[in-house]
Amino acid sequence: MMLSIIEHKVDLKIPVGEGVHALIAQIPNRLRLKGRFFRIADPGRQRNVFLSILDTAARFPEDDRLNFLFFPESTLPFGGFEEAAEAIHSRIPENTVIVFGLEHITLKQYRELLERFSEDNGGVLETVASDWEGEEQSKPVNVCVTTIREIGGRTRHFFFAKTHPFAGEETLDHLFDLYRGKAFLLFSCREVPFNFMPLICFDFVYRDLHHSNIMAIIEKANEVYFNHHQGLDLLAVIQCNPKPDHRVFRDVITGFYGEHLFKTPGTVGAVTIFANSSSDTQLEGVSGSGNFGHSSIVCAAKHKLPKIRLSEFLTDDFSGSPISRLRFNHKTRLYTARIFPYHEADPRSSRTAIKVTGVYRPLSPPGWERMSGEELLTGVSMDVDDSMAFY
């Protein structure tokens, strides 16, 4: 399968010098298997949680305004998309990017979405239409939505489909397997030299005998570097992943940042965010123990994050990988952090590539409360056995 990387220019002024402010919503997914589709068990509750996070983000003061919000894979019911889109347009300030996953929808519904927003999704629509006759229209599709509140007030919605299923998305009858997307999206800001790309979980690690998703991304980023002297600044991987520390992710991260065989100037400076669902996640029909949560922010080892271990996060090198990693706890939380992509070139901005700016715990009814510094210092350990699960 040949993978297309479709480029989009967007009107954003990401404050790269002051630090890119991002929120990771590590919230639970409770998915029920209905036929071949994973659907959200309580759509009303999940919509309320989603909207409560938007409300929290909208109340941030001007100095702490968010530039990116990342939700997990499969986190919003399809029936709640319209309400969420309206809430984003009316509540979220300009110059903000929101990335989230929809629950499984049919291929027919996916094409209808692309056609409705065809002005911004023509390239992806072409990949779907090119082999439409050979596809089963009732196939499940795992969709990532990137909603951008541009400077000037315009709101744009971009969609792409997951390229590779996890075990629960495959069946013995290949006609009913998850639809495999054929395109990724690369966003470039017109106002500043900042480029970012969203992915869905296994998109990051998938490869076959002929192609590798991560190699396609590296080659595209190198092309951008040599043509425009820019690189990929931010790679965001939204997940609903019971094994975020699986060795296959470590292997790909090692290859992505290691430059063991050749130089990769287009990606070596990138920051990668893994936004996972929390440990309260439940997936019906998926057997085996899981270890959800532990969202993380990863950068190359040369950035050398300071060694730290608190109740809600720690830094490590992912078992000897050529990286520096900020790894969060497993519980339901909102994490906010500033990312300084050019801190080496201009150390006046920051002496470190990543700074945690806040940790928020859930309230009932849906709401969020910022945790104090004392709680972070005296809270529970990261894992029950004080160790990292590594498969």
Check residue 9 and report its DSSP letter.
Answer: E
Check residue 163 and report its DSSP letter.
Answer: S
For residues 354 and 337, is the Cβ–Cβ distance under 8 A? yes
Residue 34 within a domain = yes
Residue 128 within a domain = yes
Q: How many domains does the chain have?
A: 1
Residue 388 within a domain = no
pLDDT tens digits, one per residue of 163-214: 987 655 555 445 457 899 999 999 999 999 999 999 999 999 988 878 899 9
Residue 207 within a domain = yes
Residue 143 within a domain = yes
Cβ-in-10-Å burial (0-12, 13-18, 19+) of 135 comes to: middle
Residue 135 within a domain = yes
pTM over 0.75: yes
pLDDT tens digits, one per residue of 43-89: 999 999 999 999 999 999 998 999 999 999 999 999 999 999 999 99
Residue 389 within a domain = no
For residues 38 and 104, is the Cβ–Cβ distance under 8 A? yes
For residues 189 and 195, give the distance between their C-alpha atoms in angstroms, rounded to a whole number: 6
Q: What CATH number should be reported for the domain holding residue 10?
A: 3.60.110.10
For residues 25 and 366, is the Cβ–Cβ distance under 8 A? no
pLDDT of 344 strictly over 70:
no
Residue 136 within a domain = yes
Instruction: Write out the residue range of the structural domain in which residue 310 sits.
Output: 4-378
For residues 215 and 133, give the distance between their C-alpha atoms in angstroms, rounded to a whole number: 30
